[in-house]
Amino acid sequence: MSTGWSGPPFGPIGVMRSWLKPRPGSGDRKRRRSSLVAWVILILGVFYFLLPLVATLEFSLRPKPTTLAYTNVLADPKFGGSLLYSFTIGIITIIVSLSIILPTAFWVRLKVPRLRPVVEFVTLVPFIIPAVILVFGIIRVYSRKPFVFTATEFGSDALLVAAYVVLSFPYMYRAVDTGLASIDVRSLTEAAQSLGAGWTRIILRVILPNLRTALLSGAFLTLAIVIGEYTIASFLARNDQFGVYLSLLGQNKAFEPAAVSLISFGLTWLAMIVIALIGRGTRDRIQITGAR
């Protein structure tokens, strides 16, 4: 994905020259004109993207003393509590999602390739079903006999995890499946079998280590999605969820929400950087679209 560093950033013109020189191509004049347009577009784009972030930062620093919003937030036990809750839910989601997707993708590839289109379709359904509709259905089914999950805290948490696992399917399945595709599972498995390894050993010692990259990027994507999610959690009355906490904070406080929004953006950045670092050198980048 990345073409890497190709010139020192000596300001636009310097960069342009150093970029143009070694590049084989037609007419330098034409290219220079087009890169001028490109710079204008880029600067406008960067402006649009950074403005809300700068505004949020400025807003969060308005109270006196300037760090008040941040110290208030950090002193609020609900802040740490909601982060911890969302993180825990995220980890559980990842574990459940992986323990369902990994064997399935493996088995589909190795033993029942006929089912592949079916599994693929099911994992893509969450793309078609908006979160609000998924939670609508879940609440209607699991708030009445015989499955009254919504009556208890634990039951609601379980429903939340289940919904998030469904949301994670498209990313997780694609991550694992491309991972499996890149290592030629069949040959690896057959080689391990011919050396006398059993199934458990094959999965734990042969397949998993080779899927490290794919699994980690799938996991961090899931984490990034779960932590910011609002719709499902709010309808399931999971007020400890980070997104719901932020929303409630936004209704009751003035400057603290700005601080928390910025922190949340930073967390998303962190997850993406980790994904980028893990994914370095892999060709398939996994598409990410989070909770809207």
Partner 1 sequence: MSFLELTGVQKHFGLTVAVENFNLVAGRGEFVSFLGPSGCGKTTTLRMIAGFETPTAGTILLDGADITYRPPNQRNVGMVFQSYALFPNMSVGDNVGFGLRVRKRPADQIRKRVQELLELVHLSDKLARYPYQLSGGQQQRVALARALAFEPQVLLLDEPLSALDAKIRVTLRHEIRAIQRQLGITTVYVTHDQEEALSLSDRVVVMSEGRIEQIGTPFEVYNFPTTGFVASFVGTLNVLPALVVDPGAGRLSVGGQQIRISRPVSARTGSTLSLALRPEMVSIGEGPAGSNVVRGSVVDVSFLGSIVRIRIGIAEGVNVTLDVFNEPTLILPKLEEAITISFPAEGPLVLESVPVIDTDALVAEV
Partner 2 sequence: MTALPLRVRRRPTFSWVGVVPFFLFAIAALGLPLGFLVIGSFQDREGNLTLQNFSDLTTGTIPIAFMNSIEVSIVTALLGGILGFLLAWAVIMGGLPGWIRSAVMTFSGVASNFAGVPLALAFVFTIGNLGLVTKFLFETFGLSLRRDLGFTIYSKTGIEIVYLYFQFPLMLLIIAPALDGLRREWREAAENLGASAFQYWRHVAFPILAPSILGTMILLFGNSLGAQATAFQLTGGTIELATIAIGRQIRGDVLRNPGLGYAMAMGLVVIMAFSITVYTLLQRRSERWLRS
Among the listed ranges 20-28, 136-144, 146-154, 172-180, the one in contact with partner 1 (CB under 8 A) is 20-28
22 touches partner 1 by CB under 8 A: yes
- The alpha-helical segments, DSSP class H, found in the chain are 11-20, 28-60, 68-75, 77-110, 116-128, 131-142, 153-183, 185-194, 199-201, 208-210, 212-228, 231-235, 242-252, 256-278
125 touches partner 2 by CB under 8 A: yes
Select the binding partner of residue 22 from partner 1, partner 2, none (C-beta < 5 to 8 A, by kind).
Answer: partner 1
Q: Number of C-alpha atoms within 13 angstroms, CB side, residue 32?
A: 11
Q: How far is it, in rounded angstroms, from Cα 20 to Cα 28?
A: 7
Site for partner 1 in 30-89 (CB under 8 A): 30
5 touches partner 1 by CB under 8 A: no
Among the listed ranges 63-71, 79-87, 181-189, 239-247, the one in contact with partner 2 (CB under 8 A) is 239-247
131 touches partner 2 by CB under 8 A: yes
Burial of 113: CB neighbours in 10 Å, binned 0-12, 13-18, 19+: exposed
Select the binding partner of residue 288 from partner 1, partner 2, none (C-beta < 5 to 8 A, by kind).
Answer: partner 2
Instruction: Please tell me the count of residues contacting partner 1 according to CB under 8 A.
Output: 8
DSSP state of 206: I
Among 2, 3, 8, 26, binds partner 1 (CB under 8 A): 26
Nearest distance in Å: CB 184, partner 2: 19
Among 13, 34, 66, 84, binds partner 2 (CB under 8 A): 34
Among 4, 8, 25, 209, binds partner 1 (CB under 8 A): 25
Burial of 143: CB neighbours in 10 Å, binned 0-12, 13-18, 19+: middle
Residue 226, token pair as written in the block: 């779960």
Q: Are 277 and 220 in contact (CB under 8 A)?
A: no
133 touches partner 2 by CB under 8 A: yes
Interface residue list for partner 1 (CB under 8 A): 21-22, 24-28, 30
